[in-house]
Structure 1
Amino acid sequence: MNELKTDGVPPSGRPVVFGEVLFDDFEDGPTVIGGAAFNLAWNLESIGLGPLLVSRVGRDELGDRALEIMGSYGMDVSGIQADEELPTGTVSVKVSAGQPEFAINDRQAYDAIDADEAREAVGAIEVSLLYHGSLALRSERSRRALDALAAAGRGRIFVDVNLRRPWWEKASVLGDLSRARWAKLNEEELFELSDVPDSSPEGLLAAAFDFRRQLDLDLLLLTRGADGAALLQADGQSVVLPAMAVDEVADTVGAGDAITAVTMLGLVRGWDGATTLERAVEFAASICGLEGATTDRRRHYDDFLERWEGSGWETSSLGGGR
């Protein structure tokens, strides 16, 4: 398979993850730390990429809990800001037939990420790439903070589309994607953001290729839930894989974040597209067996790393580039 375009990603650098830290309040269940940005950063920490998470929590009990959880796991919390007025983010989660439904509160601490504080935290490191989602950009203040960091990414921006009504506008999301090199979205989000005249698997893939071409993305990762995922390249080639079977699905919260994390690992390590997606889908399946999006059991992640390293970190380079 031809190489993916990733040249210019310094393997010695650290990914910067920008976005929300919040707590998922499961109906009839626990309150679990989460948010797409947090989940991704946790996974990246667990697979050895040492991310810097840039977010904001409240000076409250949940904020203290978030810092304690991250610190005790060994995550760098120097990019986590504290807000005197706004609370740490919370989301009500209802799981139906294994699929999560979210009710997201307004005016949360992650809506007020400060640009100056963010620049100061990121200025001390070499940045491999900059990741952000959609939710934290619903506020102008956090959007200004992201814009301040975009230069640090040197065009190496990975956008994870997370459309949560009513907190997004199509033009704004497409604008964010226009400055990205790599992006991830699910099939429902593809329907929202582009024209998909044919919802068959072939039609969906064709629409995704067209969407990638219009945005001039080097790589588009399309997740399809129980139907698997696809990795679409700028040269017109693709990898399409079904989802892996899971003995007992606890929930699918965080499965997309897991796929994104391993895809980013593939970018940094120089894996080819097929290897990257195979490993990403396998890792995401393991997350579906957990309650919530992450685990503090390091062994869960180490098992994957040891197996991947044993078969060779390097396959054919995920190279090329603008």
Structure 2
Amino acid sequence: MKAQPQGQGRPLIFGEVLFDTFPDGARVLGGAPFNVAWHLQGFGEAPLFVSAVGADRQGEEVLDLMRAWGLDTRGVQVHEAHPTGKVAVTLRDGQPSYDIVSHQAYDYISLSGVEEAIRGVRVSLLYHGSLAVRHDTSRQTLARLRAQLAIPRCVDVNLRAPWWRRETVLDDVAGAYCVKLNDGELMELTAPGEGAEDDLRAAAAALLEQSGMQVLIVTRGEQGAMVLTADETLRGDPVVVEEVVDTVGAGDAFSAVVLLGMQRGWEWPDILRRALAFAARICRVRGATLEDRGLYTAFLEAWTEDGRGRGR
């Protein structure tokens, strides 16, 4: 089973870029779409990242880091009235709590700015999450963009309280080519259950059929992941990580390799195995992104050799 499409253009990545801020003053740059775009650039896919930052020091830092990595910044709007995205992380009884601050720049991505950014750019697929469309402006922009672009759409579900409603998320995933979510999110969107594999498989099959998507990916943490289509179910075994530094961004790393595989027309069993391997590697470093270009090259070379050995 081969993924579609096969790379006729650049991936269009739509959504948030933000800083996680901590009580000690530390900041970590992220946002699922930003992380995905970062990895795709590392793999040489030249994505077009569409977002917004504030006219502030943090926004300029985002743009500087993008330029240094080689990411195209034309799709990042700069807003005077709204600040660069922020998530305030606090510790309560040793457990982290997240306040995803509202009315940030990425909540106000304008259609006119996006249309200007993509003019003359051939795009192959549209990727977006669910957080960046929590407010009307960005939601309406994405809706218009979906209507204008006749390209496959990939949705990365991120259920972040209080910024989601079941009916809205189900509307977002309807008709998508590919949807990725974790096992907990799957059960929240479908029906309560114990999380046993039979429950997950039934819930996934129901969501796949009801939403009209072609491919559903369910990540399961230490239990690996599943890929479902109307015809088959694939299971990927987890990659053992001996020294886990943190798991921040592992899901975004997984998503990036899924998009990479779609761009390059890989078979789904290969996509699943390679996505799990790259996600495991991200767990060995602090944060959600890497600045080691050699690591991306090493993965690509290994996957190329793997494909040759398997006749792909």
Q: State if a TM-score over 0.5 links the two structures.
A: yes
Distance 1:198 1:72 in 2: 46
2:289 to 289, 294, 305: 294
The Cα shift of 1:28 comes to: 4.9
- Matched to 1:259, the amino acid is F
Runs of 4+ deviating beyond 3 Å: 26-30, 93-96, 313-317
CA deviations on 1:252-272 (whole Å, 9 max, x unpaired) are 111111111111111121111
d(CA) in 2 for partners of 1:196, 1:145: 33
In structure 1, what is the equivalent of residue 277 of structure 2? 282
Matched, 1:195 2:191: yes
Q: Is the 8 A contact 2:82 2:103 kept in 1?
A: yes
**How far 1:316 moved relative to its partner?**
8.2
2:253 corresponding residue in structure 1: 258
Which range is displaced more, 158-167 or 86-95? 86-95
Q: Which amino acid aligns with 1:77?
A: T
- Equivalent in the alignment of 1:36: 32
| Structure 2 residue corresponding to 1:21, chosen from 12, 17, 36 | 17
Question: In structure 2, the residue corresponding to 1:163 is in which secondary structure?
Answer: coil
* Cα distance per residue 1:255-293 (max 9 Å; x no partner): 111111111111121111111100000000000111110
Tell whether the 8 Å contact from 1:259 to 1:281 is kept in structure 2 after alignment. Answer: yes
How many equivalent residue pairs?
311
Equivalent residue in structure 2 for 1:141, among 137, 140, 165: 137
| 1:164-210 Cα deviation digits (max 9, x unpaired) | 00011111111111131110011111111102545212221221122
The residue aligned with 1:312 is 307
The reply on whether 1:119 has 2:115 as its aligned counterpart is: yes
Aligned equivalents of 2:206 and 2:63: distance in 1?
42
Query: TM-score, normalized by length of structure 2?
Result: 0.93
What is the Cα-based RMSD across aligned positions, in Å? 2.2
State percent identity of aligned pairs. Answer: 45
Which runs of no fewer than 5 residues in structure 2 stay unpaired?
none
Aligned-pair distance for 1:297? 1.1
Gaps of 5+ in 1: 318-322
CA contact (8 A) 1:60 1:88 kept: yes
Partner of 1:320: none
Alignment of 1:147-226 (within 5 A): 147-197=143-193, 199-226=195-222
User: Is the alpha carbon distance of 1:177 and 1:304 closer, same or farther for their aligned partners in structure 2, counting shifts above 3 Å?
Assistant: same
Q: Is the 8 A contact 2:3 2:266 kept in 1?
A: no
